[in-house]
Amino acid sequence: MEGPFKYMKEGNGKVSRVIRMGTRKSQLARIQTDSVAGRLKELYPDIHLEIVAMSTIGDKILDTALSKIGEKSLFTKELENALERNEVDIVVHSLKDLPTSLPPGFTIGAILQRENPHDAVVLHPKNAGLTLDSLPEKSVIGTSSLRRAAQLKKRFPQLEFENIRGNLNTRLKKLDEKDDYSAIILAAAGLKRMGWDSRISQILGPEDCMYAVGQGALAVEVRAQDKDILEMVSVLCHPDTVLQCISERAFLKQLEGGCSVPVAVHTEVKGSMLYLTGAVYSLDGADCLKDTMQTVVEIDNKVESAQECVHVGVTANSVSSSALEAAEKLGMDLANALLNKGAKDILTTARKLNDAR
């Protein structure tokens, strides 16, 4: 067989392409990749899937705060290299780890239905039954997310916040086996996927802590030129989630924010309306600019068959392009509204202070 792809001969002599899925070695990454593999197997019972696991720099540097080791490509670069070299065909990521602009040649071919997008409180076992409100003063909360720290410092000034790094397994171990933290904050989605729902003692609503752009949604990254794979994965798209996440990513992109700035969002689809709330914070949460805007998204509009449009890195051929455009515009409009009120200054100062720490 010619060409860059891997093929396999079946018993009946038929030759078919082997689809290889790249994943990081962490347990969460494996679970996420396996769940997408399971969906693909259901939809296409005849395909041959192979899972290729590799460790990335982000997995190796476990003790430095994420916001200090630079941008999001940390976890994704090596997997993209493997995609580029045709060593794998599909990579599954947490959407929130993917930058709003992907390197040329790559696209997000599917965004799956979002899990609970909110953040959750996981308590040290000795604090069972307490909440962020009832924990003793000066209790130390572990998080290295600038976004979580900024919002929670403002809302719970009696608590203290310290960095905690490592994958989910490492963090839970650091919480349970030492006395350094009274509680840690993690995304509910990751905890649920790991089967640790029982450790969630409190889900933080938007009045306490808004979530990160793309949080709770899985994204399938592919080579933009690989039309067969792109078409195959496009059926995994969950239209409401796609529209929500496109508006969130457009908001972040227009603000020129990455994972190292305190930016948070909240989106909802009600009927044909898409609502986006977005905010930027100073590191201590004292300064905050926040606003809500909405747009009509005609999700039932006919999908034009020839469309091939990319919105903030996402190619969602199965969703109406007018709805995608409206969602992207909503994010940009909201960002521009905040930029007009001084969001740039807040973010620049936050970035400088964080770099100097």
CB of 340 to ligand DPM, least distance (A): 25
Q: Where are the beta strands (DSSP E) in 70-226?
A: 90-94, 106-111, 119-123, 140-142, 160-162, 183-187, 200-204, 218-223
| Dihedral sign, Cα of residue 19, residue 23, residue 27, residue 32 | negative
CB of 350 to ligand DPM, least distance (A): 12
Residues contacting 121, CB < 8 A, separation 6+: 131, 132, 183, 184, 185, 200, 201, 202, 203, 204
Q: Which is nearer to ligand DPM, 97 or 240 (CB)?
A: 97
Using an 8 Å Cβ cutoff, are 244 and 114 in contact? yes
CB of 215 to ligand DPM, least distance (A): 4
How far apart are the C-alpha atoms of 175 and 81, rounded to whole Å?
34
Q: Which residues pair with 16 in a beta bridge?
A: 8
Q: Which is nearer to ligand DPM, 92 or 338 (CB)?
A: 92
Please report, as a single letter, which amino acid is at residue 340.
N
Using an 8 Å Cβ cutoff, are 330 and 274 in contact? yes
Q: Which is nearer to ligand DPM, 4 or 205 (CB)?
A: 205
Q: Which is nearer to ligand DPM, 147 or 311 (CB)?
A: 147
Residues identified as active-site = 97
Residues lying near ligand DPM in the complex (CB under 6 A) are found at 66, 72, 94, 96-97, 143-145, 147-148, 186-187, 189-190, 212, 215-216, 259
CB of 114 to ligand DPM, least distance (A): 9
